[in-house]
Chains A and B, each alone.
Chain A
Amino acid sequence: MVTDSAIKTVTLTIDNKSCTVPKGTTILKAAQSIGIDIPTLCYMKELVPDGSCRICVVEIEGGRKGGLVPSCAEHCAEGMVVYTRSQRVVEARKFILDLLLSDHTLECFSCARNGSCKLQEYCLEYGVERTSFRIGKRTPFGKGDTSNRFFEFRPDKCIMCRRCAHVCEKLQGRDVLSIAGRGFDTHISTCYDIARTDPTCESCGNCVSACPTGALSSYDQKRNYRSYEVTSTQTTCPHCAVGCQFNLLTKNGKIVGADPVDGPTNKGLLCVKGKYGSYKFVHSGDRLTTPLIKKDGKFEPATWEEALGLIVNKLTQIKKKEGADAIAGFSCSRSTNEDNYMFQKMMRAAIGTNNVDNCARV
């Protein structure tokens, strides 16, 4: 991109509100900065605009070609007068929704994304209850790709926003998902039509998180919960030391799912463990609920006092007899950074050795 080193600003009016932004800012970002919400489907803030869904259209007074432009791609200009909800804009958005619904299987009641589907949300907002194109070509119903064990793909619910393919290619860097065909027959495909069980696909599920509809949906969500039934609690993924931020979703006091949050280290992405694995052990029946001490070759339940006392005794004995370097500490990568820090501190300060390691090499 050609950029000027000195930051120049432009002042424009959006819905009668004045707004000053750096030159090169898109209308969408300018509107967001003053609290005006514009609907988007294909837009991803981390990437250059795709400009394909056209739902973010806004009207520019006196603009070229009828003045309707996609706000995600159009740059703000000095003196520009923008309307984000004029009658023409609303009609244009309704038309887009009408077209999208004309090739979208409406089975909202059984859909995993019922309540968290952007298409559903916008159709409700703009009063598009059903498509006006009653008869016509449709993507075949229900012929989904169920090759992945964590999620399924239903092309008849896909609105071709391409977010999944962009996440896979540009953010996750796996290039599993791609766009094939053209015209009406354009569809999301895996590269060379490999199955989603192929090792190239890590089942990270970021495509599922990115999908605005139910085209890509987790089996967990499909079977166990809908978005309106759960409470989100933001926390740090316990699986490794990267510190990805995510929301644990709880329903009736049980963790049922995880959604990525835009954290400083993960930028809205998760790996397969974070997305599908890291919360499942919480309610596992195999979990230890009390310390165990081995007596006569068998583990017996013990109290914390007994267990910690035993550890202190043994470590003190070894240190006295063989020196501190006879002891090594190995911590679990599933601990948080803070716990790992405390652990090495204990090894160095209390025990007196630098023999510390961690298995965080995943």
Chain B
Amino acid sequence: MALKEPVLLKRVEKMTDPTSVEEFTKYGGFDALKKAVIMDKEAILDELDTAHLRGRGGAAYPLGRKWRHLYGSQNTPKYIVCNADEGEPGTFKDKMLLEKDPLSVIEGMVIAGYVFGSNDGYIYIRGEYRHIQAVFHQAVRNARAAGYLGKNIMGIEGFDYDLHIISGGGAYVCGENSALLNSVEGKTGRPRVKPPHLADVGLYLKPTLVNNVESFACVSAVINMGGEAFLNLGTKDGGGTKLICLSGHIKNPGVYEVELGMPLDEILYSEEYGGGTSTGRPIKFIHFGGQSGPIGTSEQIKDRLYDYGDFWYNKLAIGSGAIVVMDTSVNAIDYMTSVMEFFVHESCGKCTPCRLGTTRLLELFKKFQRHGGKQGDIEKLEKMLEHITNLSACGLGQSVSVSARSALAGYRDEFEACIN
């Protein structure tokens, strides 16, 4: 049951110049914006609620609820921020949208600008995506020239909204919303203390909306097709389609668009998508949603639906949409050691448990790796993971344990084999 018609990637590959407003509108671009500006703002929020669109960055927070929170905030001005700091390993879907259909992201951000009466939107693009930043700059210039950004957008008196493009500096932690805002403000990219919530005190201490690239693209889709139709593309636990990133030991790696609720086996094995492993060996485990996501054993992933609810129920997560496939040649401890190296490298160093704890975790994993584990080390690992999750200040530290715990649950025997 493949996707009948792409929703998010419908223009990709069709457009010869992804930054051209003319081509974008030819394939249905800015239709949603035109529709939105004659809709009641409450009605737009209702559609988003009905659509049950979950944030596509990884946390899967219902987008409608986030928008309502900001909508209710009395303070002005309000800022719209797009999180395009796609740094989650195994995730490269935002890159596709930013490069191949940047105007769809711009459209979603302009709709947000309209709903919240905001004048300024910021998009924080990962520093490593330098060439994509150039594409995006061109798209913004074209949109401005065509009257979709700037003063009196589409001739509507007082609808002033423009975009600022900010380049990231290469820190994973800046994908965390409050660290991202600090970075936009020119401060060091370290997370802020919460409360207050960003919808009350965000960018420059003003109410701020932070959404992922794909989420903004989805907003246009919801307005276009209506909340009900969008919901029907997915399941009751989350509507719409999702961009997935297949990588690792998979025959056809790349970005695909799937309806939420599609059987995972189809994604992994059908020729249209993954096509099975690239090595011919069977799948051992899959790392879902990036480094901060859980690892699913071959048992766990059997007969799953690619759906928020079914995944959570089985201790898995959709996360950013990353699907990193590992075959049976991979040792779980080796894999986890490299995951931990990533966290050690990316910890911002603000709070004690993450700053020192990630290094101590890596040291323990390396000890297992060289078969130097002692009695009680597995229990110590479990305790450390629990403390680091409970005590860390932001999502980075709190999710360090997700993959390690799931690896420990699925492959405890491999850990035990490393104990002398």
Contact = CB atoms under 8 A, between A and B. Distances in A.
B75 A133 contact: no
Contacts of B357: 99
A99 B353 CA distance: 7
Contact of A1 (B201, B356, B363): B201
Given A133-B363, A136-B363, A68 B350 contact: no
B219 interface: no
Interface in B71-92: 74-75
A184 B360 CA distance: 10
A298 interface: no
A50 to B, nearest CB: 7
B346 interface: yes
Given A1-B196, A2-B196, A160-B355, A186 B201 contact: no
Interface in A66-109: 66, 68, 70, 73-75, 91-92, 95-96, 99-100, 102-103
B349 interface: yes
B107 interface: no
A327 B45 CA distance: 81
Interface string A99-130: 11011000000000000000000000000000
Given A66-B390, A133-B360, A137-B359, A73 B349 contact: no
B390 A92 contact: yes
Interface string B309-325: 00000000000000000
Interface in B324-365: 344-353, 355-360, 363
Contact of B391 (A48, A96, A182): A96
Contacts of A1: 196, 201
Contact of B398 (A53, A65, A92): A65
B358 A136 contact: no
Nearest to B344: A183
B292 to A, nearest CB: 14
Given A2-B201, A50-B193, A57-B391, A182 B352 contact: no
Contacts of B389: 65-66
B158 interface: no
A186 B391 contact: no
Contacts of A137: 359, 363
B60 to A, nearest CB: 16
B363 A135 contact: yes
Contacts of A102: 356, 360
B268 interface: no
B160 interface: no
A196 interface: no
A185 interface: yes
A103 B359 CA distance: 11
A280 to B, nearest CB: 38
Nearest to A74: B195
A346 to B, nearest CB: 53
B351 A183 contact: no
B361 to A, nearest CB: 10
Interface string A171-205: 00000000101111110000000000000000000
Contacts of A96: 352-353, 391
Given A2-B196, A95-B387, A183 B363 contact: no
B177 to A, nearest CB: 16
Contact of A52 (B75, B194, B393): B393
A36 to B, nearest CB: 20
B290 to A, nearest CB: 18
Contacts of B386: 66
B200 A2 contact: yes
B349 A183 contact: yes
B391 A92 contact: yes
A186 B352 CA distance: 11
Contacts of B346: 182-183
A2 B75 contact: yes
A95 B353 contact: yes
B349 A182 contact: yes
B171 interface: yes
B46 to A, nearest CB: 26
A144 to B, nearest CB: 20
Contact of B348 (A66, A68, A183): A183
A135 B364 CA distance: 10
Interface string A43-70: 0000011111111010000000110101
A1 B363 CA distance: 42
Nearest to A67: B390
A181 to B, nearest CB: 7
Contacts of B196: 1-2
A49 B353 contact: no
Contact of B355 (A51, A73, A135, A184): A184
A172 B398 CA distance: 34
Interface in B159-217: 171, 173, 188, 193-196, 200-201
Most chain B beta-carbon neighbours within 10 Å: one of A2, A52, A160, A182: A182
A136 B359 contact: yes
Contacts of B392: 54
Most chain A beta-carbon neighbours within 10 Å: one of B171, B355, B380, B384: B355
B353 A184 contact: no
Nearest to A99: B356
A54 B357 CA distance: 12
Given A136-B363, A183-B358, A100 B390 contact: no
B175 to A, nearest CB: 14
A52 B363 contact: no
A137 B173 CA distance: 22
B351 A52 contact: yes
Nearest to B188: A179
Contacts of B380: 132
Contacts of A73: 193-195
Contact of A54 (B171, B188, B348, B391): B391
Contacts of A160: 349, 352, 355
Contacts of B345: 183
Contact of B344 (A51, A75, A135, A184): A184
Question: Which 3 A-B pairs have CB atoms at the shortest separation, nearest pair first?
Answer: A186-B349, A51-B193, A183-B347
6 contacts: A2-B74, A2-B75, A66-B386, A74-B195, A95-B384, A184-B356
Given A99-B357, A133-B363, A182-B346, 17 more contacts: A49-B193, A53-B352, A92-B387, A92-B391, A95-B353, A96-B352, A102-B356, A133-B360, A137-B359, A179-B188, A179-B349, A181-B349, A183-B347, A183-B355, A184-B347, A184-B355, A186-B350
